[in-house]
Amino acid sequence: MRTILFIAVIVALVGCKGNQNQKIEINSGWEFAIVGDEDFKPATVPGYVHTDLLTNGIIDSLYWGENPKKYNFVGDTSWVYKTTFILSKEQISYNTKVLQFEGLDTYTDVFLNGEKILVTDNMFLAYEKNVTSYLNEGENQLEILFKSVRKEGQKIVDNYKFYTEEHARADADNYRKFVRKAQYQFGWDWACPLVPAGIYKPINLILYNSARINDVFIVQEELEDDLAKLKAEIEIASNETTTVDLQVEVNQTIVKTLKNVSLNTGSNNLYVDFEIENPQLWWTNGAGEQPLYNIAVNVVKDGIIHDTKLHKIGLRTIEFVNDWDEQGRSYYFKVNGEPIFMKGANYVPIDAMLPTVTKERYDEFIAQCVEANFNMIRIWGGGIYENEEFYDACDAAGILIYQDFMFASFMPPADDPFMENLEKEAIYQVKRLRNRACMALWAGSNEVESAWFEGYMPKGYPEEVYTIDHKKIFDKLLPSVVKKYHPGIGYVRSSPTTGTDSIMVNTRGYGDAHAWGVWFAMIDFNKAKFGRLTRFISEYGFVGYPAYTSLKKYMPVEEMDTTSAVFQFRDAYIGIQDNIRNFIDRYYPQPRNMMEWTYVSGIMQGEAMRQSNEIYRTHMPYCMGALLWQLNDVWPVASWAMLDYYQQWKPVMYRTKESFAPIIVSIYEDKGQCKLYGVSDEFVDREVELILSLKDFYGKEISRYSKNHTLEANTSTEFHNFSYKDILNGEDAANVVLEAVLLENNDTIASTLHYINRPKDLKLNEANVSYEVKEENGKTVVEVSTDYLAKNLYLIDSKGEINFSNNYFDLMPNRKVKVYPRKEIGADELRKRLSILTLNEILIK
Ligand code: BMA
């Protein structure tokens, strides 16, 4: 009862603003139970069954050890959520009342005051229902029945009309692809199956007397240096024939008013042209600023603003260039007319418990991408279309989005009910995201096309499933929705694709590729240059374990043995350890304990990916994008991720930050022959001096080469080539390192260390590393130096909570380096928590 009173107060307070439209979030007083069980427990909305079970102490820690294995029952069970909300006399007097469900996961029957008002079957779709005639003054009961996902999915499979018996068999146990629900939730190589259910996004009650803005599309018609011409396309629902004024505000100033606009009962499509003088252009991270303009559209009647829609937009052009050329088919993006190399990674949801992710977590997450010099993220097709907060952070940071439609690796059905459902989803999502500065590309799927071409589809699929169904979805429905609702944005049928049936996916020279040679085919790191090095690489990856300090957060210390069942349950898949051992044998000294295992696998992942990053960048402009697999994890697991579940940077994140810097110098070696490149993402040339020196591990220079060069804007230039034999000139490769530096007016603008031998074949001595933790201008800083090369110097925070400005790096002797914690922490506290590990220690043994 107390909760009901509480809601009544809130509702009454917002409900006294005359004729203004109102939006009331129905987020309190919720309870849940298993269907048929009268034992209702308090629930959080938005939320998930799993998190509610946790809060009520019914299950224990979701991500600990093998616990998730116990929670399969959630997807097998039907659940009910209910609440009561109160409407005041004033609220009930509104002419029209609409219930809006921003996200229900997934199969539900919704009852309002005992009447079934809605049936849902798609977690990616928002639903609305006019409930005017169902509501009462005073108490109203809202009840949502979540039907077992597994059972509902199976029903669809059973009723699906297949081409052949064979096809039916191939699909029988594969209900997941029939379900419009995030595919990773059923299990993926880096995700355990958790099959959640729940009200995972807000439910709102919208009240209006006359008109409501359903949608606003801000079209950028012309963008000149001194003037931007824009058009607001406005969709208004009206419940009467009336006249209103339409206003457009730019940064809180009204710039245009259309007086006495007639509205008819029902849906009205209107537009307002307006202009912005001296437009400030929006650029990607690293290429310029990200000014955003607040554009508000108001519907005004009798002097009162009835409804407002606000969008923050960036003024920019984005062109996806996918032309046939003499090398094949290009695949790149021009922002404001400038071709820009895309640097970034593939994103999966930050947490399997989606509703727990806050705006602060999104903001911090994107801030890390900015720090790592990203300008693009691909939202992978087996996850979700993200929340507004995610795209807000990308808009503000200049991170472009390569957005998959939510299909991954499995061929979905293409019968009428599925197509209708999908069409609604596609229209909803394309319209929802089309005003965003960050939106750069839509892709039909993750790897559904390549599954066909590369033979991963289940045996027994008849040809028609590709020639008819696949085309129906990925060549017809989805591109037509994109073209109609967001004209001008790029669309590709899949990631990866060559864009045509006549050229096999992943063919060198043609479009986008997923380049898995280094990890799955286990080729040497430098061989990433061959195989699938093509025009754009939207996936390439390497597994590294989370740090030991992270491991301790999700499994007992006694299970930390690579052969234990718990440990293996937390591996992305059985087999990652074999790959890691194989690579360690080839490149690194053998780890002797769990700490060293996590450390060596981590720095190896960092090195493998550093080489790939640089190989792709040095092939600019032939290759114009490098997106690593994968940026993050949905739960704590040993995977390809660069950030572990706890947002701790693995070495690969640090190495990527360096190799994605705007200017790099890179040395590539093949069979003893080396090429040295300068790569610049900047728009201006620079005059630089290249210095290449051979040094021993005490820092003594053995030989030096130097030459002046022009570092050309926005491309890669070969500066030098040499052989190991010549440069060594008789020195032992095990004792030396090459240091390349680019100087501009005597300032270092880029540098790199290059070893001739692999780490396991270096003759390293002990390094006496000294470090001091102190406060400097109010900031905590760690100052580190060494008397001898410290290889992969690891600053360990015993609590596993602090990322640094740099870590796991090679430190040359007699240089003082400052490293900053990324999070506020006092010098005393950090000093207590800090220790150090180097590869030297493992090599010396
Ligand atoms: C990629 C992705 C995912 C997968 C990853 C690692 O190609 O698209 O499907 O998790 O490989 O296997």
Tell me: the pLDDT tens digits for 820-836? 999 999 999 999 999 99
Cα–Cα distances in angstroms (integers) from residue 546 to residues 189, 370, 423, 654, in the given order: 16, 21, 40, 14
Q: Which letter, b or e, does each residue of 563-599 get, where b requires 16 or more Cβ atoms within 10 Å of its Cβ?
A: eeebbbbbbbeeebbeebeebbeebbbebeebbbbbb
Express the helix, strand and coil content of the chain in percent, nearest 5 each: 25, 35, 35
Classify 310 as helix, strand or coil.
strand
User: With contact defined as beta carbons under 8 Å apart, do 79 and 35 qualify?
Assistant: yes
Query: Rounded to whole angstroms, how far apart are CA atoms 419 and 474?
Result: 11
> How much distance in Å is there from the Cα of 630 to the middle of ligand 1?
8
> How much distance in Å is there from the Cα of 383 to the middle of ligand 1?
12
> How much distance in Å is there from the Cα of 183 to the middle of ligand 1?
12
Q: What are 377's strand-pairing partners?
A: 345, 401
701 burial level (CB within 10 Å; 0-12, 13-18, 19+): exposed
* Helices marked H in 162-314: 165-171
Query: Rounded to whole angstroms, how far apart are CA atoms 134 and 462?
Result: 49
User: With contact defined as beta carbons under 8 Å apart, do 345 and 313 qualify?
Assistant: no
Query: Rounded to whole angstroms, how far apart are CA atoms 485 and 425?
Result: 13
Classify 482 as helix, strand or coil.
helix
- What DSSP state is assigned to residue 624? -
- Closest residue by Cα to atom 6, ligand 1, is 189
241 burial level (CB within 10 Å; 0-12, 13-18, 19+): exposed
> How much distance in Å is there from the Cα of 100 to the middle of ligand 1?
35
E strands along 478-524, which residues?
Answer: 490-492, 512-514
Number of H helices, E strands in the chain: 20, 45
* Helices marked H in 669-740: 724-728
> How much distance in Å is there from the Cα of 822 to the middle of ligand 1?
30
> How much distance in Å is there from the Cα of 736 to the middle of ligand 1?
38
705 burial level (CB within 10 Å; 0-12, 13-18, 19+): middle
Q: What are 775's strand-pairing partners?
A: 780
Element (H, E) at 717: strand 715-723
Longest CA–CA span in the chain (Å) reads 93
Cα 78 vs. chain centroid, distance in angstroms?
A: 31
> How much distance in Å is there from the Cα of 223 to the middle of ligand 1?
39
With a 6 Å cutoff on the Cβ, whether 514 touches ligand 1 is yes
Cα–Cα distances in angstroms (integers) from residue 2 to residues 40, 140, 381, 425, 430, in the given order: 16, 15, 43, 38, 42
Tell me the residue type at 100: Q
| Residue 162: predicted pLDDT | 65
With a 6 Å cutoff on the Cβ, whether 404 touches ligand 1 is no
User: With contact defined as beta carbons under 8 Å apart, do 443 and 402 qualify?
Assistant: yes
Query: Rounded to whole angstroms, how far apart are CA atoms 85 and 24?
Result: 10
Q: Whole-angstrom distance between the N-terminal and C-terminal Cα of the chain?
A: 68
What atom in ligand 1 is closest to the CA of residue 188? 10
Query: Rounded to whole angstroms, how far apart are CA atoms 71 and 579?
Result: 30
| Residue 184: predicted pLDDT | 97
Which of the listed residues 445, 446, 627, 629 should we mutate to test ligand 1's pocket, taking the one with most ligand atoms within 8 A of CB? 629
With a 6 Å cutoff on the Cβ, whether 447 touches ligand 1 is yes
Among residues 522, 562, 526, the alpha carbon closest in space to that of 542 is found at 522
What atom in ligand 1 is closest to the CA of residue 495? 8
Query: Rounded to whole angstroms, how far apart are CA atoms 107 and 70?
Result: 22
> How much distance in Å is there from the Cα of 457 to the middle of ligand 1?
15
Classify 433 as helix, strand or coil.
helix
10 Å Cβ neighbour count for 806?
19
> How much distance in Å is there from the Cα of 77 to the middle of ligand 1?
29
User: With contact defined as beta carbons under 8 Å apart, do 247 and 261 qualify?
Assistant: no
- Closest residue by Cα to atom 8, ligand 1, is 446
| Residue 1: predicted pLDDT | 39
> How much distance in Å is there from the Cα of 809 to the middle of ligand 1?
28
| Residue 465: predicted pLDDT | 83
Q: How long a stretch of residues is the chain?
A: 845
Q: Which letter, b or e, does each residue of 333-371 get, where b requires 16 or more Cβ atoms within 10 Å of its Cβ?
A: bebbeebbbbbbbbbbbbbbbbbbbeeebbeebbebbbe
User: With contact defined as beta carbons under 8 Å apart, do 17 and 36 qualify?
Assistant: no
| Residue 2: predicted pLDDT | 40
What atom in ligand 1 is closest to the CA of residue 446? 8
Tell me the residue type at 335: V
With a 6 Å cutoff on the Cβ, whether 538 touches ligand 1 is no
With a 6 Å cutoff on the Cβ, whether 633 touches ligand 1 is no
Over the chain (845 residues), the average pLDDT of each successive run of 10 is: 40 51 97 96 98 97 95 93 97 97 98 98 98 98 96 85 60 78 96 95 97 98 97 97 98 98 98 98 98 98 96 98 97 98 98 98 98 98 98 98 96 91 98 98 96 79 84 97 98 95 93 96 93 95 98 97 97 96 98 98 98 98 98 98 98 98 97 97 98 98 98 98 97 98 98 98 98 96 98 98 98 97 97 98 92
10 Å Cβ neighbour count for 6?
13
Q: Which letter, b or e, does each residue of 107-125 get, where b requires 16 or more Cβ atoms within 10 Å of its Cβ?
A: bbbbbbeeeebbebbbbbb
What atom in ligand 1 is closest to the CA of residue 190? 10
Which of the listed residues 186, 512, 539 should we mutate to test ligand 1's pocket, taking the one with most ligand atoms within 8 A of CB? 539
| Residue 147: predicted pLDDT | 97
With a 6 Å cutoff on the Cβ, whether 189 touches ligand 1 is yes
> How much distance in Å is there from the Cα of 640 to the middle of ligand 1?
9
Among residues 82, 79, 196, 94, the alpha carbon closest in space to that of 135 is found at 94
Among residues 650, 603, 656, 582, the alpha carbon closest in space to that of 626 is found at 656
At a CB cut-off of 8 Å and minimum separation 6, what does 755 contact?
737, 738, 762
Which of the listed residues 346, 407, 579, 630 should we mutate to test ligand 1's pocket, taking the one with most ligand atoms within 8 A of CB? 630
At a CB cut-off of 8 Å and minimum separation 6, what does 423 contact?
477, 481
> How much distance in Å is there from the Cα of 184 to the middle of ligand 1?
11
At a CB cut-off of 8 Å and minimum separation 6, what does 500 contact?
none
User: pTM for the whole thing?
Assistant: 0.96
Which of the listed residues 405, 445, 447 should we mutate to test ligand 1's pocket, taking the one with most ligand atoms within 8 A of CB? 447
User: What is the Rg, in whole angstroms, of the alpha carbon atoms belonging to the chain?
Assistant: 29
Judged by phi (left if over 0) then psi (alpha if -120 to 50, else beta), residue 624 lies in: alpha
10 Å Cβ neighbour count for 448?
28
**3-state secondary structure labels for all residues of 15-67:** CCCCCCCEEEECCCCCEEEECCCCCCEECCCCCCHHHHHHHCCCCCCCCCCCH
522 burial level (CB within 10 Å; 0-12, 13-18, 19+): middle
Q: What are 230's strand-pairing partners?
A: 220, 274
With a 6 Å cutoff on the Cβ, whether 446 touches ligand 1 is yes
